[in-house]
Amino acid sequence: FGSDATKIQRNPLFSTLNSEDISYFKGVLGEKNVIQDEERLLTANTDWMHKYRGSSKLLLQPRSTEEVSQILKYCNSRSLAVVPQGGNTGLVGGSVPVFDEVVINVSLMNNIISFDKVSGILVCEAGCILENLITFLDTQGYIMPLDLGAKGSSQIGGNVSTNAGGLRLVRYGSLHGNVLGLEVVLANGDVLDMLGTLRKDNTGYDLKHLFIGSEGSLGIVTKVSILTPPKLSAVNVAFLACKDYFSCQKLLVEAKWKLGEILSAFEFLDNLAMDLVLNHLEGVRNPLPPSLHSFYVLIETTGSDEAYSKEKLEAFLLHAMGAGLITDGALAQDINQASSFWLIREGLPEALMKAGAVYKYDLSLPIENMYNLVEEMRIRLGESATVVAYGHLGDGNLHLNISTPQYEDKILAQIEPYVYEWTSKHRGSISAEHGLGLMKANEIFYSKPTNVVHLMGSIKKALDPKGILNPYKVLPHSLSSSS
């Protein structure tokens, strides 16, 4: 397990659960949604990476906003700390308890409330699994504006609470643009109905944005209204090899100019990432003949006219080949081949888990010097670790992953604070899309000025004066603990 949690103390102002609390929760939620079973608690206490583990004794599964409101109101009055949990696929230790916080999971709130086929606006409960929403929208001729490797278990409430980016942000933008409304329950049980379905609404402060990306520290998201794009029929995927990082950058610039409105993903991985996925995931193979390729780029285009899209993409690939930007490439001939290309990129987080321990850094950096960090890290760590890089190049988002047989303080000391200082020096972000969670709560100052962090602390205090919502996460511990 990682060592982040060992550095903090349980807030002594929080109460511990007693039998009266359990009886109260059973009264509100019914016996079977008040879970004390050890096996289920072990799952709820352990994060996806198996890096963080809490010791919660209770998992609550409300079925309605009213139930969420009642249990939060009670927890607040009793000073019982809580952790909102979705699909528990978060990568920064934000979704699991640090100590004995009560886990609240809205997975039973998984209904689609409405879908407007004219505007493409979907309203649903926060516990809907992303993949189920994608499947539902497919039947309506629409898609979700976000897609990510964890779609099979992450919930839309979790996606919103992390402001998840994912694979299509380059085309459809972030959830700050696509989420039109939210219903949120505050720590004291108040329900905020901000569930608008309007694209334009300039009446006062747009408070929903406070909750998008707030990682469960300001309220529990119970309903979401989201703008969904139409499902266009002409989707093409190319898997390309580049000889160096400079060529990847030039390829991106060319793709923006030459593919323009049909570009829907621009992802990259380096050769060590490719080796890792080939070695650790069954059924994955490199579509390009073995060679000493240094980088791979996956480009997806999405348009409404197959002939137009194909012609555009083929002309782009010919141009890129002629200009020496790509050394080899394959264009998917059918949907199965397209999926097999995507599997290489989407399988990377799982391959890293299979390889052993992984130190994950999710950075926004200026694209031109992003890869210098990867090379510097390799020199720093030498033989002690495998440094692999991949990410959403089109968004300037590098996933720097350091794979080792097990977690070791001596390796961590070589990585941090170096990686954060480097990012800060280049005016990057230490969390592009995964959030701060427990892992980076104390590192926020690398990306945000002190007065901005203090204003965040004041907002947290105003909305959650006792600090019961996801304590020890997001904000530095000095600011987020209640007093």
Within residues 137-176, the interface with ligand MLT by CB under 6 A covers: 149
SS3 string of 237-298? EEEEEECCHHHHHHHHHHHHHHCHHHEEEEEEEEHHHHHHHHHHCCCCCCCCCCCCCCEEEE
DSSP letter string, 288-336: SPS----EEEEEEEEES-HHHHHHHHHHHHHHHHHTTS-SEEEE--SHH
Residues 418, 407: Cα–Cα separation, whole Å: 17
Measured in residues, the chain has a length of 483
Residues 331, 341: Cα–Cα separation, whole Å: 9
Least CB distance to ligand MLT at residue 455 (A): 28
Contact assessment for residue 240 and residue 287, using Cβ atoms and an 8 Å cutoff: no
Residue closer to ligand MLT, measured from CB, 345 or 466:
345
Which phi and psi angles does 140 have, rounded to 5°?
-100, -5
Of 357, 354, 362, nearest to 391 by C-alpha is 362
Residues 193, 211: Cα–Cα separation, whole Å: 13
Least CB distance to ligand MLT at residue 351 (A): 10
- Within 8 A by CB and 6+ apart from 213, the residues are 161, 162, 163, 175, 176, 435
Is residue 173 involved in binding ligand FAD (CB under 6 A)?
Answer: no
Is residue 229 involved in binding ligand MLT (CB under 6 A)?
Answer: no
SS3 string of 140-199? HCECCCCCCCCCCCCEHHHHHHHCCCCCCHHHHCCHHHHEEEEEEECCCCCEEEECCCCC
Two structure tokens written together for 482: 């209640």
Stretch that binds ligand FAD, among 27-35, 157-165, 371-379, 455-463 (CB under 6 A): 157-165
Contact assessment for residue 230 and residue 142, using Cβ atoms and an 8 Å cutoff: yes
Least CB distance to ligand FAD at residue 20 (A): 26
Residue closer to ligand MLT, measured from CB, 184 or 400:
400
Stretch that binds ligand FAD, among 22-30, 163-171, 195-203, 369-377 (CB under 6 A): 163-171
Contact assessment for residue 121 and residue 197, using Cβ atoms and an 8 Å cutoff: yes
Residue closer to ligand FAD, measured from CB, 106 or 320:
106
Is residue 224 involved in binding ligand FAD (CB under 6 A)?
Answer: no
Residue count, binding to ligand FAD (CB under 6 A)? 37
SS3 string of 348-404? HHHHHHHHCEEEEEEEECCHHHHHHHHHHHHHHHHHHCEEEEEEEHHHCEEEEEEEE
Q: Return the sign of the alpha-carbon dihedral for residues 403, 405, 409, 413.
A: negative
Least CB distance to ligand MLT at residue 187 (A): 29
Out of 48, 52, 266, 472, which residue is the one contacting ligand FAD (CB under 6 A)? Answer: 48
Least CB distance to ligand FAD at residue 383 (A): 28
Two structure tokens written together for 210: 């406070």
Out of 171, 223, 399, 466, which residue is the one contacting ligand MLT (CB under 6 A)? Answer: 399
Least CB distance to ligand FAD at residue 361 (A): 13
Residue closer to ligand FAD, measured from CB, 349 or 396:
349
Within residues 419-448, the interface with ligand MLT by CB under 6 A covers: none
Residue count, binding to ligand MLT (CB under 6 A)? 5
Residue closer to ligand MLT, measured from CB, 433 or 443:
433
Out of 2, 54, 84, 181, which residue is the one contacting ligand FAD (CB under 6 A)? Answer: 84
Is residue 433 involved in binding ligand FAD (CB under 6 A)?
Answer: yes
Is residue 220 involved in binding ligand FAD (CB under 6 A)?
Answer: yes
Within residues 334-353, the interface with ligand MLT by CB under 6 A covers: 348-349
Stretch that binds ligand FAD, among 4-12, 77-85, 252-260, 335-343 (CB under 6 A): 77-85
Residue closer to ligand FAD, measured from CB, 208 or 312:
208
Residue closer to ligand MLT, measured from CB, 57 or 151:
151
Out of 137, 148, 274, 363, which residue is the one contacting ligand FAD (CB under 6 A)? Answer: 148
Judged by beta carbon distances under 5 to 8 A according to partner kind, the member of ligand FAD, ligand MLT, none in contact with residue 399 is ligand MLT
Judged by beta carbon distances under 5 to 8 A according to partner kind, the member of ligand MLT, ligand FAD, none in contact with residue 348 is ligand MLT
Residues 220, 183: Cα–Cα separation, whole Å: 9
Gyration radius (Cα) of the chain, Å: 23
Judged by beta carbon distances under 5 to 8 A according to partner kind, the member of ligand MLT, ligand FAD, none in contact with residue 329 is none
Two structure tokens written together for 141: 């001729």
Judged by beta carbon distances under 5 to 8 A according to partner kind, the member of ligand FAD, ligand MLT, none in contact with residue 94 is ligand FAD
Within residues 87-106, the interface with ligand FAD by CB under 6 A covers: 87-91, 94-95, 106
Residues 43, 392: Cα–Cα separation, whole Å: 30
Residue closer to ligand FAD, measured from CB, 107 or 414:
107
Q: In what order do the strands lie in the sheet with 328-331?
A: 328-331, 234-242, 295-303, 263-270, 386-392, 397-404, 357-364
Binding-site ranges for ligand MLT (CB under 6 A): 149, 348-349, 362, 399
Binding-site ranges for ligand FAD (CB under 6 A): 48, 83-91, 94-95, 106, 126, 148-150, 154-155, 157-159, 161-162, 164-167, 215-216, 220-221, 349, 433-434, 437, 470
